Amino acid sequence: MGIALPDMHVLPKHPLIIGGKLLERGSGAVQPHIYPANGQVTADLHMASPADVDAAVAAARAAFPQWRALTGDKRRDLMFNLASLLEANVQQLAQLGVIEKGEPAMMAPHIPPIAAQKFRYFGGWADKIQGLTVSTWGGPAHDYVAYEPYGVIGAIIPWNGPLFAAAMVLAPALAAGNCVVLKAPDLAPYTVMRLGELFVEAGFPAGVVNVVTGGADAGEAMVAHPGIDKIQFVGSGATAKKVLRSAAETLKPCGLELGGKSAVIVFADADLMDAGKRGLTGGVSANGQGCVNGTRLLVERPVYDQYLQILGGMAAHIKAGDPNDPVTILGPVISDASAQRITGMVSAATSAGGRLIAGGERLGGDLASGYFLPLTIVADVAPDSVIARQEVFGPVLTVTPFDTEEEAIAIANGTDYGLGGYIHTRDLRRAHHVASALDAGMVQVNGSGEGMTPCVPFGGVKQSGFGRLGGEAGLKEFLRVKNVWVNLAKGAGQ
């Protein structure tokens, strides 16, 4: 019988918002959006063209002087207005999350309040951006440092968490006094389209936030555009390399938040039931399509078999199915091509000696027309294997035993990525030692992602990117430093 399309009446109608005008079509290609739960078209979207990007940049540049001059308390209040609208529209935004990328309905309502938190947190910074005075030498002088906005930020965000990523970038950029051109992802555009409408409803001045829904050509136009002062890119490493090459032509600074292959290290003294439950999070969160998901489970050998039994037992209760079904825990992956790539990686891993504990094959029956994979766990995975080193971006976990702290650290650090790390132990000394030794921008001890609040910096090292989003460090990513030295010597300026 298959899965029916959800209610399409909730879909926003404006793929472009430029200079405060809500536009129902761009001048680029028409692209259908596919509902990943059944492969059917939800709507044909008229995408943004490079000419639309030009218009959006012009609107942002025109709005920048007024927005920059607006006092911090007024920017704060507007951001609080937006946060309130996000909270008031949770139900619609949750429905859009289900439609655009198959987010399970039981999880989708949690995303808009998290986005609202980001705007409240950074809105609180808008009236607290302060410089400092510097003691100098070489004669009487007054020296001070000022923090100033860049101007226009080009924000390119991914399909796997569009509303979350948009809030993570826009909140600090706007608090710092920048205007923004935001590219909504073509594969999952709806929550960001609705977010753009909410900016208008919240009373933001025209042109401060502009939304262009588009594909690679729109993104390329943004990166190369001389009217954009900085690019904030959230996405894959392969695309990030193209972004950097293009940005180099105008020496445009870039912030990059990229992929990950985060290790979950389970020591023998851990609470294994809790570590098992949290270990499954990496395969379930965002349907396994999360950059910071813990997908490599490294388990101390004395408890390795016991932990695998716990994982297998828990995995049997992870229901994949219709995202609108309130008992569904795991939805589809984003596309048929993704499903095929993921199953291919799992097949290669088992052929190389990996042992299936759960899942492994694409789901059929009523789910056959969608892009559904079960939660898949592959044990006995060699640390140097492809599936242990490359990002799968699906509901797949690998499990590898280790014997010592040093070996666990070496395996965890043995990839090109360095975004997250998770440690499960009751030994506080060990927790601090291992956290210090991990090449990762974010480490959680006895956690599984709940520490990613707006007040803490988030970002990676190595090929997981550079720059930070979140906390004071995230605010300063969108501020330039200016030093001013004033000669106070007698007769100066006469």
> 95-132: string of b/e by CB count within 10 Å (b at 16+)?
bbbbbbbbbbbbbbbebbebbbbbbbbbbbbbeebeee
220 is catalytic: no
Cα 136 versus chain centre, distance: 42
291 is catalytic: yes
148 is catalytic: no
Written as six digits, the tokens of 156 are 């390119």
- Side chain identity, residue 484: V
Which helix or strand (DSSP H or E) is residue 423 part of? Answer: strand 420-424
The tokens 């030498």 sit on which residue? 137
Annotate 375-393 with DSSP letters as a single string.
Answer: -EEEES--TTSHHHHS---
Catalytic-role residue among 100, 103, 300, 391: 391
**Using CA atoms, how far apart are residues 18 and 22, in angstroms rounded to an integer?**
7
Catalytic-role residue among 101, 118, 179, 183: 183
CB atoms within 10 A of CB 440: 24
Catalytic-role residue among 100, 103, 257, 300: 257
Catalytic-role residue among 291, 300, 462, 477: 291
CB 110 within 8 A of CB 161: no
Written as six digits, the tokens of 113 are 């309040």
24 is catalytic: no
Q: Taking each helix axis from N to C terminus, what angle separates 90-101 and 72-88, rounded to the nearest 10 degrees?
A: 70
Helix %, strand %, coil % for the chain, to 5? Answer: 40, 20, 35
Cα-based torsion angle of the residue sequence 167, 224, 289, 89 in order, rounded to the nearest 10 degrees: 30
Burial (CB count <10 Å: 0-12, 13-18, 19+), residue 400: buried
| Sign of the four-CA dihedral 382, 384, 389, 392 | negative
Catalytic positions: 183, 257, 291, 391
